[in-house]
Chain A
Amino acid sequence: KQEVTQIPAALSVPEGENLVLNCSFTDSAIYNLQWFRQDPGKGLTSLLLIQSSQREQTSGRLNASLDKSSGRSTLYIAASQPGDSATYLCAVTGANNLFFGTGTRLTVIP
């Protein structure tokens, strides 16, 4: 069964710093990988979707990469802002299901 891991579970950084969030998965036979943001008590907001044939996607200050062979994805956030504080989740779509990590809670300190 696919397992998705996000380490660390929590991360605090000062405003303006560039940072990387990690997502690893055990089965490389995936269709796509999606990064989400979740604010407390809210639903998930889609940030980036990477198809299995792609290596990266960019949206504004966000860049997500995918390395299927090593079972890894990273979400790079440039010039972090306090408004980026949230929990970030990755999800991997396989043949039989969609698997979520438990997320990384990011705090950007002004």
Chain B
Amino acid sequence: DGGITQSPKYLFRKEGQNVTLSCEQNLNHDAMYWYRQDPGQGLRLIYYSQIVNDFQKGDIAEGYSVSREKKESFPLTVTSAQKNPTAFYLCASSIGYRGQGELFFGEGSRLTVL
């Protein structure tokens, strides 16, 4: 079945470590996104990519990095520079960018910093 796969589902990190969250989609979508969700807050955009080898910062990109080497993959690295990384991270994709088409989400990855 087509969809978005995020891994790992749960991840624990020590302070000062970088971690990478995986996001793979087989929907043949051009656009991919990373969101962060914190309790009581709406989703906040970290990074987005409209096409392979191109990506743009969202509202809260500091302390994060991404790559888009393949259409189906958009990994997110949470670096040690991110001051408060404990959160639920959601990857999404759409056929086109923003207004073009429905947004689909993965099941999320919960990161906890020890």
The chain A residues found within 8 Å of chain B, CB to CB, are 4, 31-32, 34, 36, 41-46, 49, 89, 91, 93-94, 97-103
Bound-complex Cα distance A45 to B106 (A): 9
- Range class of the B interface residue count: 20 to 34
Q: Are B108 and A42 in contact, with the CB atoms below 8 A?
A: yes
Q: Are A41 and B108 in contact, with the CB atoms below 8 A?
A: yes
Bound-complex Cα distance A44 to B58 (A): 19
Given A31-B98, A42-B108: A101 in contact with B103 (beta carbons within 8 A): no
The chain B residues found within 8 Å of chain A, CB to CB, are 4, 6, 33, 40-43, 45, 58-59, 88, 90, 92, 98-108, 110
Given A97-B98, A102-B41: A46 in contact with B104 (beta carbons within 8 A): yes
Q: Are A41 and B90 in contact, with the CB atoms below 8 A?
A: no
Given A32-B99, A102-B40: A44 in contact with B105 (beta carbons within 8 A): yes
Q: Which residues in B have their C-beta under 8 angstroms from that of A42?
A: 107-108
